[in-house]
Amino acid sequence: MLILLCVIMVVLLLLGFPMMVPLAVGTLFMMFTDMTFFGPDQAVSWMVNGVGSWVLAAVPMFIFAADILTKGHT
């Protein structure tokens, strides 16, 4: 299955698709063909629980840093 996933992703990249398309197609392909370990509801639960407080605090700080950098003059 892993080889098939890699082939699909490489073919889509060689056809000129943006990077997000092969990643999304490969992920969806594996989710719908190899559901032996967990279901989509479990995957969503892991993603939601994986976002911790440090990640949520870092996003506004990056935006603030970008704002400072764009307003600075050299």
Range 6-20 burial, b when 16+ CB lie within 10 A, else e? eeebeebeeeeeeee
Residues 43 and 64 in one domain: yes
Residues 3 and 27 in one domain: yes
Residues 33 and 59 in one domain: no
DSSP label at residue 15: T
Question: Per the structure block, which two tokens stand in for 11?
Answer: 């073919």
Q: Name the more confident of 33 and 71.
A: 71
Give the pLDDT mean for 58-62: 87
Residues 54 and 26 in one domain: no
What is residue 14's predicted lDDT score, i.e. its pLDDT? Answer: 95
Question: Per the structure block, which two tokens stand in for 40?
Answer: 């989509």
Owning domain of residue 18: 1-37
Q: Name the more confident of 43 and 20.
A: 20
Residues 33 and 50 in one domain: no
Residues 55 and 67 in one domain: yes
The model's pTM: 0.49
